[in-house]
Structure 1
Amino acid sequence: MAYWSAEAHDLLGYTSAQVTGKPLADLLSPDEPALRHRDGRLLDVRVHLFPLPDAGKQEAVLVMFSPGAAAPTPATDRLALWAFDQMSRVLAIYDRDGRALTANEATKQVVGLPEREIPGRRLTEFLPGPAFEEAERRILRVGRTGEPEYTELFVKLPQEEKAHAWSVDIFPLRDADGRVRAVGLAADDYTEQYNTRERLALLSEARTRMGTSLDVAGSADELVGVLVPRFADFVAVDLLDVVLRGGLPPPGPPIEPVTLRRAAQGCSRRLPPGALLDADEVRTPPPSSPLARCLADARPELRDFRDPRSSGGWPRTRSTRPMPTSSGRAP
């Protein structure tokens, strides 16, 4: 080869100094009649040969390479890089030893690290915890077996105020010969879909578990069993005495303070003695309490239990040991 253009450099990866004076056969694959890029991958390239009759005494041939439909070009390489970096989905590439090679902008925002601090580190080095340890084991396994894997994580990331649900695809990155060169990871935040799925599952469970008894107190206990801990950490059901006796309350809001009896309660934590009413205990909530307001207005209320306006019956949580429901079931 006597001359080598800049376009040939872009297509095959060799500089002019690397190929000038060498035989054209050095660019061919030893296994098949195909051109091979400097990085080792086979290229989809058409080769055109044109004799040069005016080249002097030496016979010369003009060799023209034209990319095939699937051959990358500098322009498409840049587009692929932009697509990778600007994708809203979390994307990262790891070597077969589980160390990060590169990550897109969405990944950097999620983990809260600048680009220079990601390459060379394992996933668990910047995202510690059992869920990420499992994801790292999957990365190593995909790099070893070449088989893609899928998992779902429910975790709180450094930049998040609360845990989110993530769907994670882990897949091998192969070269033109089918060898696994790296491992890709793509993750989507699907918290909204996850919450919808959980609500539907809760409703389905409520339909099958509630209403099995005609006893009012038994139905209250079934309600607590469904809601704790999947929907709430604490649930209490207080009923009017007249309801427990099999009657109906008078229509309209209560005119005077009412007496409520604790029919069922459940908590995902064991609370200190005296923090909760005993089962079947009777009390009269003050008019300013959430319970009294709900009865008076016939409307639900959503309050932060730390709000001073919500005083009058909220439990205090100081321990983390499980507390059984009034029926003895662990919530």
Structure 2
Amino acid sequence: MLDAEGLVAGWSPEAEHLLGYRAQEVLGQPVDSLSVHVDGQRAGERLTQSGPERWLDVVFRHRSGRLLRLVAACRQLPATVIGPTTVVFLGDPEHVRGRQLQQAMLHGISTHSPVGMTIYGPDLRMAWANAAARQELPGTFDQYVGRSEDELYPGSEVLSAQYPATITQLMGKVLDSGQTVTGVHYRGCPASDPDREHVWSLSYYRLQDADGRALGVCEESVDVTDLHQAQQRLALLNEASVLIGSTLDLHRTVQELTEVLVPRVADFTAVDLLGDVLAGREPDARSARGTGDLCRVAHRSVREDLPEAVVTPGQRVGYSQGSPHWQCLTSGQPVLNAVLDLSQPWLREDPVRSDRLRKLGIHSHLAVPLRARGVTMGVATLMRWRTPDPFAAEDLLLVEELAARAAVCIDNARRYTREHQSALTLQRSLLPHELPTQEAVEAAYRYLPADTEAGVGGDWFDVLPLACARVGLVVGDVIGHGIHAAATMGRLRTAVHTLADLDLPPDELLTHLDDLVSRLALEAEAAHPYGIEGVLGASCLYAIYDPVTRRAIFARAGHPPPALAHLDKAVEFLDIPAGPPLGVGGLPFESVEVEIPEGCVLALYTDGLLTASDGDEDTGLERLGFALAHPDRPLEEVCDTMERLLLPDRAHDDVAFLVTRPRALPAENVATWDLAFEPAAVGRARELASDRLTQWRLLELTFSVELIVSELVTNAIRHAIGPVALRLIRTQNRLICAVSDHSSTSPHLQRANVGEEGGRGLFLVAQFAQRWGTRYTGDGKVIWAELPLADPSAGNPQP
């Protein structure tokens, strides 16, 4: 302590420890004798100046003689018995400055810090809060003292799953364990802003005295609402990249966009596309200039009843000129009405929409064009009415990015739709539109193209009329999808028609078809050496059914076996040698002859039928056997059962199956005679044929049949090897004459010269018959000719 003259009037033990002088050595001495002048000014003069409390830099001399740089704090005391007195506090500069900074920090935390700090007592109820924390608590602070966190922010929730459900429980754990907790995300509505949801990042640590006794918990809170929303937008963009465009289906892609936007961005979203886009065409500038061609594809709302929707998906959407949608289409730029003005001209011209917006209280509106590769394909409309916040610039950036991604996916789906429709049109044009009516078989079929993701495939089927009332049955499958597979299917189907018309056995037909596929593959490889899709291979099952013998000959090339459903036993999958797929080559194909009992159903199918449900062929065969049970049902009903049991969902591969009920020709409609291998047999053959025509009441055909029989039998006896047989077959609409022999030499139709006596037999046969031809058997050949029946309803055999 110093008096008014700068003499030492008091000396504490701490001063003695600091400077080394005892009290009796310095009391009454001038302080200048203990100090050094600073800036030409004596210490006593500086320390005793009147004024507010201040801090001064001074230099004192230690009793040992060394100089000490200290900091002095001076405070004037009321006058004492010795007059005015000054208390001088001396200290180490670093320590003093540290305490100064600590006090400044505490003052800054209390008044200026942006981090909210709240102290909760041992009872976990509020005891103190700094200015930042009090900003979220309107009114006087006293009304909040003594409340818990859950009472201050009712309805809030902890977003971090690893922490307790409530903040009070979390603070209880911190108080008990002393463990610091940081980065707890907390969501709720503060009392100062009850209509807007906020997110805070909270940290907690225990407050304790020097003895370690818990005094409470301190909470530090930072409002990270903007950061949280930015993270949510980024997460939404990342999620949208996975969700939008998961398929190549245009409508599904649009639906995925609405699912991403509602409710995380908007309360209602509608997506309208131009008609050209929906049709798979490239939209032009003229289409984008108006809204009359817009069609609603999908919309979504936070309410299931869709109160915002004026039209339903599939309907045309008429927006008036000057509307945000019209502006989007014409300019290609988004239109943001953060605060929707219901008095705008375009709404006055659209009273239905205006009334709907007014009733729901829709306050914010956003229209964003869907553009890809510089082309506007439609517009997305977003509205808010349940969410109190209007659309902001950040929302516009987010929606623009989502719309751009969705537009590319929509354009890809549009392009794929166009290609898929082209391939499907090609495929359908190459498949049979109607199965020809055959007396030998009753047939029903199903062809189900693959879904849009897998693309059009190369499955096909056919029922082919053959000579002598026989029928060819074929089912095939080209490997791969797309327009190449469809085109290859058409080429193979045409080839099968040509080869079947030559009346080749099934194994020989597949051999020729195998050679064709190999040549096509080589041509494709030569034309496209860099892997452009060509002919990769195919599978095929071919069968010939003879209604006279009730037997069928099968051969297959890498194709599933046919199924034969019996009336009196379980469904049988015929044991036909599989053979390699077409185009592989190297191994021969084998034919197997099977008897077809009365009333059976024969099913031919592609492998997509077996693997459509779960990919397991054994399970597919089991289900197929169950579907074919009870073959006495109508064939259409059998097909429906197969489709229901084996194709519960849309197939990812083309599926084709052919269900037939082979029928035998009545015995009375077939006549067969063995003829002697001599010229006299020609007359005998004419007599037998004439008698049978009389019996069948087909006398109008007698002359033609006798001439055909005479020429065919004569050629067999003259040029072939015996024995010779004659067969007449009568169907509902034709009469077939067939002469068989044991020679493999095929006759040829030729035009005889004027001077030649022979060579006109087959020419005459061709003139009188509707069709004629030669087919080879295992021990010879059969020459046949068909004549149409003038009246198919007549001609029942006489009793």
TM (norm. structure 1) is 0.68
Q: Is the 8 A contact 1:96 1:140 kept in 2?
A: no
Partner of residue 143, structure 2:
117
Q: Is the 8 A contact 1:253 1:297 kept in 2?
A: no
Root-mean-square deviation (Å) = 3.7
Residue by residue over 1:244-267, the C-alpha shift from the partner in whole angstroms, topping out at 9 and shown as x without a partner, is 010122125745552221111111
Q: Cα offset for 1:192?
A: 2.3
Partner of residue 343, structure 2:
308
Partner of residue 330, structure 2:
296
Q: Cα offset for 1:193?
A: 1.7
Q: Cα offset for 1:281?
A: 1.9
Name structure 2 gaps, 5 residues minimum: 1-9, 26-89, 159-164, 362-384, 387-799
1:262 match: secondary structure: strand
1:291 match: secondary structure: helix
Residue by residue over 1:74-111, the C-alpha shift from the partner in whole angstroms, topping out at 9 and shown as x without a partner, is 74663343032121111111012111111101111122
Q: Is the 8 A contact 1:110 1:157 kept in 2?
A: yes
Partner of residue 78, structure 1:
103
Residue by residue over 1:29-81, the C-alpha shift from the partner in whole angstroms, topping out at 9 and shown as x without a partner, is xxxxxxxxxxxxxxxxxx889896969xxxxxxxxx98998899974663343
Q: 1:122 to 1:69 in 2, by over 3 A?
A: farther
Q: Cα offset for 1:236?
A: 0.9
| Distance in 1 (alpha carbons) for counterparts of 2:12 and 2:275 | 89
| Distance in 1 (alpha carbons) for counterparts of 2:270 and 2:141 | 49
Q: Cα offset for 1:224?
A: 1.1
Of 105, 109, 130, 2:131 maps to 105
Rg larger in structure: 2
2:335 match: secondary structure: coil
| Distance in 1 (alpha carbons) for counterparts of 2:212 and 2:97 | 18
Partner of residue 683, structure 2:
none
| Distance in 1 (alpha carbons) for counterparts of 2:261 and 2:286 | 28
Opposite residue 145 of structure 1, the aligned amino acid is: S
Q: Cα offset for 1:292?
A: 1.9
1:87 aligns with 2:120: no
Work out the percentage of aligned pairs sharing the same amino acid. Answer: 26
Q: 1:74 to 1:208 in 2, by over 3 A?
A: closer
| Distance in 1 (alpha carbons) for counterparts of 2:306 and 2:235 | 32
What are the within-5 Å matches in structure 2 for residues 1-331 of structure 1? Answer: 75=100, 78-85=103-110, 86-131=112-157, 134-150=166-182, 151-160=184-193, 162-251=196-285, 254-271=288-305, 275-303=309-337, 304-305=339-340, 307-309=342-344, 311=347, 312=350, 313=353, 316=357, 317=360
Query: Aligned residue pairs: how many?
Result: 271
Q: Is the 8 A contact 2:289 2:329 kept in 1?
A: no
Q: Is the 8 A contact 1:103 1:118 kept in 2?
A: no
Q: Which moved more, 1:121-130 or 1:168-177?
A: 121-130
Q: 1:281 to 1:80 in 2, by over 3 A?
A: same
Opposite residue 79 of structure 1, the aligned amino acid is: A
| Distance in 2 (alpha carbons) for counterparts of 1:111 and 1:6 | 51
Q: 1:7 to 1:168 in 2, by over 3 A?
A: farther
| Distance in 2 (alpha carbons) for counterparts of 1:130 and 1:255 | 49
1:279 match: secondary structure: coil
2:168 match: secondary structure: helix
| Distance in 1 (alpha carbons) for counterparts of 2:126 and 2:12 | 32
Residue by residue over 1:215-255, the C-alpha shift from the partner in whole angstroms, topping out at 9 and shown as x without a partner, is 22121111112222122221111111111010122125745
Q: Is the 8 A contact 1:258 1:284 kept in 2?
A: yes
Q: Is the 8 A contact 2:254 2:271 kept in 1?
A: yes
Q: Is the 8 A contact 1:143 1:172 kept in 2?
A: yes
| Distance in 2 (alpha carbons) for counterparts of 1:208 and 1:189 | 31
| Distance in 2 (alpha carbons) for counterparts of 1:7 and 1:88 | 43
1:173 match: secondary structure: strand
Q: Cα offset for 1:174?
A: 2.6
Higher strand share: 2
Opposite residue 281 of structure 2, the aligned amino acid is: G
2:240 match: secondary structure: helix
2:157 match: secondary structure: helix
| Distance in 2 (alpha carbons) for counterparts of 1:240 and 1:128 | 48
| Distance in 2 (alpha carbons) for counterparts of 1:308 and 1:299 | 23
Opposite residue 145 of structure 2, the aligned amino acid is: P
Q: Is the 8 A contact 2:136 2:191 kept in 1?
A: yes
Q: 1:218 to 1:173 in 2, by over 3 A?
A: same
Name structure 1 gaps, 5 residues minimum: 12-46, 56-64, 321-331
Q: Is the 8 A contact 1:111 1:127 kept in 2?
A: no
Higher RCO, 1 vs 2 (CA within 8 Å, ≥6 residues apart): 1
Opposite residue 109 of structure 2, the aligned amino acid is: F
Q: 1:68 to 1:146 in 2, by over 3 A?
A: farther
